[in-house]
Structure 1
Amino acid sequence: MPEPPDTPTRRRFSTSERAALYLAADGYCTRCGTDLESGWHADHVTPYSLDGPTDVLNGQALCAPCNLKKGSKQLMQLRQWQRRAVDAFYASDSENFLVSATPGAGKTKFSLYLAQDLLQRGIVDRVAVVAPSDNLRVQWADEASAAGLPLYPVAPGDSDGYNKAGYTGCVVTYQQLLGTGGSLMRHAMRRRTFVILDEVHHAGDNKSWGEALRTAVEPAVHRLCLTGTPWRRDATSPIPFVRYDTDGTVAVDYAYEYGAAVADGVCRRIEFHAYDGEARWTDPARVRRSTIEENGKSHVSVEFTAKLGANMPDEDVSAALDTVYEPKYAWMPSILAQADAMLTEVREDVPDAAGLVIAERQWLAQGYAELLQQITGTRPPVVVSDPKADPGSRIAKSQIDQFRRGTGRWIVAVKMISEGVDIPRLAVGVYASKTQTPLFYRQVVGRFVRTRPNEEINARLIIPAVPELMRHAREIEEELRHQLEIAAEEDAKDREEGGGSSGQGMLDFRTPLSASESVFDRAILQGDEVSAEELASAQAKAQELGIPRAYAANLVPLLRAQASQAQVVATAQPVPQPREAEIPHYRREKMLRQAVETLARKVAYRRRVQPKDINIDLLRAGHPKRSKATVEELEAMLKTLTGWAAEA
């Protein structure tokens, strides 16, 4: 029996596939544009040696000289944003270049590609990477090796590793550049060097780090700075090799943010679920006097009570969070129970999906692990970041690596997994940190947005209903909605044209008294706030339709449109209303069109083709142009794309 066309071991394109590739190229070489003559090559876009499939979606028609020139030295395949960032780097003609890309978008792969390209062009002779932690130092070396770029991870105290024979370069941490490490790095740069500064904002953790970095890598030919989120200037700890705007915000040379990544299918969409609750505590340092009549006598009360969602001074926010985060009070046990129920829903579709709790302190993390053991029957691992203890960091890395490869439900961390750690199966998170800065918040969000093949799920992050954290969530979701609208406009245009601390905490005289059970306040999705009632209705509708409850939040806009339409019908007069008044129908059409745009981009990403190619495939499948499609036609289009996504 002949092999089926999609068998991965089949290397040669069939006669019909060659014909399809020739016709798709209009008889011209895809690379140089010359006429294809006898002996032209049907070539793999992603090389067969790298598990590229033998089918027309991964094929291209090349003339013989172009295919032979391509050879085995082909660099890794890039996403569209990565190719644009490479072009922007060369166009800038600057020694320093800052890229801000959302976690999970592929900053490491982009950087290693650029390093390989600079080496092949003869612009540099070696590569050096500076990372924020020992864990990331080893991770960079591993990923560089997998990409064919041997970089040596220099251990603390190893004076020979900075220019080790047999390696193209080295990987060190910012801390290693203090003292002799900086001079050793500078000495190694007698040869032309390309330097990658990962999460460069860490160079501002203290003034000495920035000064050491400047001295160590100043001789480099090019310096590529990477970050997940732009930051503002810290006058006490200036960060070298970056520019700032007049308002003190870092000036980015190329940006690829979360909204664009979701629109391109590079990252998952995330739902923010905010929970309120009441906290009670005492604070002898701040005596609030109020008269309480009890048995006819007046008393002085030093007790404070507040709801998380209320507007209150920063000091009260900190105290309220300290209280509700206590494992012994009702808020955290109820939060963890809700989170585990969410994880169970997700695991119906993704059996190895996992959850992460970000804790404020080590003793709190241990308490959460005990609570999760009571809920699930299994005690999750607890990882602690301690940069002063190298052995401890190695233990933490081992725990994280084991969890990444396993199928366990939960992992608890004390700000250990805020950046740089890749665990793509994380799908549910609990934010139990007092840190409210946008940088840290987005780093945590980045742990849950990494995609895997053949997964169509929304990640979920549970947060306290504190106004500042809610504001960060809204900003991220508004950014997503804006990028989706831009993507839709670009596709339409193409069609028209034909184309905190890890220790035990500080001395604190406040005394937490109690915390109520958590109360679901609202979810934030696509910039809209979803109430508890709406989410419950959506979950019931999902169950009725045979859709996993994990997708319930996506149904809310449709249910709103249906409810509005029903209300219009119920209150309408017997006289027929003109179609122009049917606003709910338009909203439904707009929602479906956005869903089609998003899914088409995801299919394009999975097939490694351009979005316009998916548009052509839809037309060939008998669907009309999206700009002219009716609601029913859009629904049919969405069904077709869903099938393609499952096959890709």
Structure 2
Amino acid sequence: MGTVDPRRRFNPTERAALYLAADGKCIDCGTDLAGGFHADHQEPHSRGGSTDVINGQALCPTCNLRKGAFVSNLRLWQESAMNKFYAVNPRDFLVAATPGAGKTRFALTLAKRLLTEGAVQRIAVVVPTDALRQQWADAAGQAGISLMPVGDFADYAKPGYQGCVATYAQVARGKGADMLRHATRNATFAILDEIHHAGDNRSWGDGLKTAVEHAIYRLALTGTPWRADPTSPIPFVNYDNNGTVQVDYGYEYGEAVADGVCRRIEFHAYDGEARWIDCGVVETAELGANLGEEDVSAALDVVYHPEREWMPVLLRKASEALDEVRREIPDAAGLIVAERQYHARAYAALLKSITGRDPVVVVSDDPEAKAAIDRFRDSRDPWIIAVKMVSEGVDIPRLAVGVYATKTRTPLFFRQVVGRFVRVRPDEEFNARLFIPAVPTLMNHAREIEQELRHQLEADRVQEERARAEAGESANQGTLDFREPLSASEARFDRAILGGQEAGAVKVEAAQAECRKLGIPTQFAMNLLPLLDRMQEATSAGVTAAAGNPRIEEPRHRRERVLRGEIDTIVGKVSYRTGKEKREINAELLRRGFPSRNKASVEQLEQIRNELARWLGM
């Protein structure tokens, strides 16, 4: 078997080329390709097949899944992390993996292996929330491990179970910590999920240290690397000289997208004008301007108000985006993260007027919120609105469109929201969309995520907790008496961000028009931008030459790359229309005296392209 190409997923330009090469139809069955079509390797990636259009083909999900190619029990990053764990054989091992990458599956697979090998006799899992306690117990059962979600002191070492799942709060102090410590007298593998929560207060960290101090192995998991907080030290992790946590194995969002483990997400930023009265003075501000902290908060208060024009327009745009996705994926869903309960209920009324259906509303102080989320996860309802319910425990893989309508602007919270939309399912492929205010802080967070920068919190844990506390206090208050919102303009589309590339409204509209002309779903508009940019460059160069101005020659290597792409596309069309395999077409070119493409000059590539075009009757 050849060397495996480290890039597993076709990029947007390659996907568009494969779609066009197939004339928008599945190569196998000939049905029209929908927005969730699969860009597939002809020679499987696991067997050394390259991620290149020459080895690619466009298939409908049904035909691709029917192939039944062998899939490893673990993803590549999970296998790599497993190998490093065994190579180092550490007592403490910290894995930082982006939300949706499969941290739970990795941990339970490792736990099962250690149990089978006899290296440990028990498993102890510690999680931040009650919801995750049940989820981990369920997932462990599917992995063949019987874990008891702790509801009583006797559950820590209950007979008939191979271990337990408890929360950080349960083992924070007193008898809970003592019971888990006693249960780990037998050889124990401790899994500490989202361990940054152990720094929520000092007692949680101290209790955790007592509870699992004697575990043979301790695996810490997080999707959010953090900085040291001397007031709430987190046990069993190491820090560098700058106070940043040291990760033993990291798997970031950018890698996960490239591997097809996580879904790509487009950030659609909307600007607008807000007007309010502050202490008798009329204030006016644009969301995208560089404002002070108080002015940003005031402007967001105005535009988030359900009776101003900005939010209803944004909800209509988001609803249209979700409707587009649901035409291809009928159970796709949307999430609105609201600032206050009042907003959530008002947004629900607005959405009902737009869609004709009542959305699900969940708030943190509702005892039925968890059950409502569970029902929504398994339903086909289009929208859910949440207040203080976006956390590591909210897992709804069908989420496709989001609206960020909260004033919380910390990197940690923003990434938690993003993490709700990146999970993939095997029978679909599309870009998720998150609608955000064009506030510079949020725009910067989006750029950092899209540019695959390692997450660094801009404030230490004390600042993070202060921000959360302030948000919690404001969530229960009305507008301050001395600040009166006046008006907000309609939400104006400002730009879209995808893969580090930004495009304004004019370019996005042009890309959507090109999609409609080619018969491609408009949700691929951002994916077509690189192709349109090259077309525009070529057109501009031609116009300049026709005008008698000196023509700037395109670099030869760029011309060669464009020609290879054009040839690959035409070969795909010839293959589809003649029923011949691509290798037969390439062999015919060799018989006619053309050199192989990897050895051809630019001039020879042009001759090959022209010959293929003649075959196609172009």
Fold shared, TM-score > 0.5 on shorter chain: yes
Which secondary structure does the structure 2 equivalent of 1:58 belong to?
coil
The separation in 1 between residues aligned to 2:542 and 2:69, in whole angstroms, is: 47
* Letter of the structure 1 residue corresponding to residue 333 of structure 2: A
Can you list the C-alpha shifts for 1:284-314, whole angstroms capped at 9, x where unaligned? 3xxxxxxxxxxxxxxxx52221111000111
- Find 1:242's aligned residue among 229, 232, 237: 237
| Distance apart, 1:234 and its partner CA | 2.0
Matches within 5 A, 1:408-419: 408-419=381-392
The separation in 2 between residues aligned to 1:435 and 1:625, in whole angstroms, is: 57
1:454 is matched with 427
1:382 is matched with 361
2:181 is matched with 186
Can you list the C-alpha shifts for 1:219-276, whole angstroms capped at 9, x where unaligned? 1111111111211122222222111111121111111111111111111111110001
CA RMSD, aligned part only?
3.3
Which secondary structure does the structure 2 equivalent of 1:341 belong to?
helix
Matched, 1:544 2:517: yes
Aligned residues: 507
| Distance apart, 1:121 and its partner CA | 1.6
The separation in 1 between residues aligned to 2:208 and 2:582, in whole angstroms, is: 52
1:145 is matched with 141
- Find 1:99's aligned residue among 89, 95, 99: 95
The separation in 2 between residues aligned to 1:345 and 1:415, in whole angstroms, is: 28
Which secondary structure does the structure 2 equivalent of 1:514 belong to?
strand
* Letter of the structure 1 residue corresponding to residue 381 of structure 2: G
Equivalent pair of 2:338/2:344 in contact (CA under 8 Å): yes
* Letter of the structure 2 residue corresponding to residue 177 of structure 1: V
2:159 is matched with 165
Matches within 5 A, 1:272-421: 272-284=267-279, 301-386=280-365, 392-393=366-367, 395-421=368-394
Change (3 A) 1:590 1:439: farther
Can you list the C-alpha shifts for 1:300-335, whole angstroms capped at 9, x where unaligned? x52221111000111211121122111111111111
Can you list the C-alpha shifts for 1:168-204, whole angstroms capped at 9, x where unaligned? 1111111111332111111111111111111111111
Equivalent pair of 1:269/1:449 in contact (CA under 8 Å): yes
The separation in 2 between residues aligned to 1:619 and 1:231, in whole angstroms, is: 51
Equivalent pair of 1:561/1:584 in contact (CA under 8 Å): no
The separation in 1 between residues aligned to 2:421 and 2:536, in whole angstroms, is: 32
| Distance apart, 1:283 and its partner CA | 3.0
The separation in 2 between residues aligned to 1:475 and 1:166, in whole angstroms, is: 47
Change (3 A) 1:142 1:575: same
Change (3 A) 1:191 1:632: farther
- Unmatched 5+ residue regions in structure 1? 1-19, 26-52, 60-75, 285-300, 387-391, 482-499, 596-616, 635-648
* Letter of the structure 2 residue corresponding to residue 344 of structure 1: D
Equivalent pair of 1:360/1:502 in contact (CA under 8 Å): no
1:90 is matched with 86
Equivalent pair of 1:339/1:428 in contact (CA under 8 Å): yes
Matches within 5 A, 1:435-474: 435-474=408-447
- Unmatched 5+ residue regions in structure 2? 1-42, 49-64, 455-470, 570-580, 588-594, 610-618
| Distance apart, 1:81 and its partner CA | 0.2
Matched, 1:57 2:69: yes
Change (3 A) 1:628 1:103: farther
| Distance apart, 1:586 and its partner CA | 6.4
The separation in 2 between residues aligned to 1:441 and 1:632, in whole angstroms, is: 52
Equivalent pair of 1:98/1:225 in contact (CA under 8 Å): yes
TM-score when scaled to structure 2?
0.76
- Find 1:111's aligned residue among 104, 107, 114: 107
Can you list the C-alpha shifts for 1:120-145, whole angstroms capped at 9, x where unaligned? 12111111111111111111111111
The separation in 1 between residues aligned to 2:89 and 2:68, in whole angstroms, is: 38
Which secondary structure does the structure 2 equivalent of 1:326 belong to?
coil
The separation in 2 between residues aligned to 1:154 and 1:240, in whole angstroms, is: 22
Matched, 1:559 2:532: yes
* Letter of the structure 1 residue corresponding to residue 138 of structure 2: D
Matches within 5 A, 1:244-259: 244-259=239-254
Matched, 1:214 2:209: yes
* Letter of the structure 1 residue corresponding to residue 297 of structure 2: S
Identity of aligned pairs, percent? 57
**Larger mean Cα displacement after TM superposition, 427-436 or 569-578:** 569-578
The separation in 2 between residues aligned to 1:210 and 1:432, in whole angstroms, is: 33
Change (3 A) 1:442 1:54: closer
Change (3 A) 1:89 1:593: farther
- Find 2:225's aligned residue among 227, 230, 236: 230
1:535 is matched with 508
* Letter of the structure 2 residue corresponding to residue 353 of structure 1: A
TM-score when scaled to structure 1?
0.73
Which secondary structure does the structure 1 equivalent of 2:316 belong to?
helix
Which secondary structure does the structure 1 equivalent of 2:260 belong to?
coil
| Distance apart, 1:462 and its partner CA | 0.6
Which secondary structure does the structure 1 equivalent of 2:190 belong to?
strand
- Find 2:171's aligned residue among 152, 170, 177: 177
2:450 is matched with 477
Equivalent pair of 1:561/1:585 in contact (CA under 8 Å): no
Matched, 1:197 2:192: yes
Equivalent pair of 1:128/1:194 in contact (CA under 8 Å): yes
The separation in 2 between residues aligned to 1:146 and 1:330, in whole angstroms, is: 48
Matches within 5 A, 1:575-594: 580-581=554-555, 585=559
Matched, 1:422 2:395: yes
Matches within 5 A, 1:479-558: 479=452, 500-501=471-472, 504-506=475-477, 508-509=480-481, 510-558=483-531
The separation in 1 between residues aligned to 2:369 and 2:385, in whole angstroms, is: 11
* Letter of the structure 1 residue corresponding to residue 160 of structure 2: G
Change (3 A) 1:524 1:448: same
Higher relative contact order (CA 8 A, sep 6+): 2
Which secondary structure does the structure 1 equivalent of 2:428 belong to?
coil
Equivalent pair of 2:129/2:393 in contact (CA under 8 Å): no
Which secondary structure does the structure 1 equivalent of 2:144 belong to?
coil
The separation in 1 between residues aligned to 2:351 and 2:430, in whole angstroms, is: 23
* Letter of the structure 2 residue corresponding to residue 356 of structure 1: L
Can you list the C-alpha shifts for 1:585-641, whole angstroms capped at 9, x where unaligned? 56857999999xxxxxxxxxxxxxxxxxxxxx997996999977979999xxxxxxx
* Letter of the structure 2 residue corresponding to residue 169 of structure 1: G
The separation in 2 between residues aligned to 1:631 and 1:449, in whole angstroms, is: 41
* Letter of the structure 2 residue corresponding to residue 328 of structure 1: E
Change (3 A) 1:373 1:583: farther
The separation in 2 between residues aligned to 1:339 and 1:585, in whole angstroms, is: 39
Change (3 A) 1:535 1:625: farther
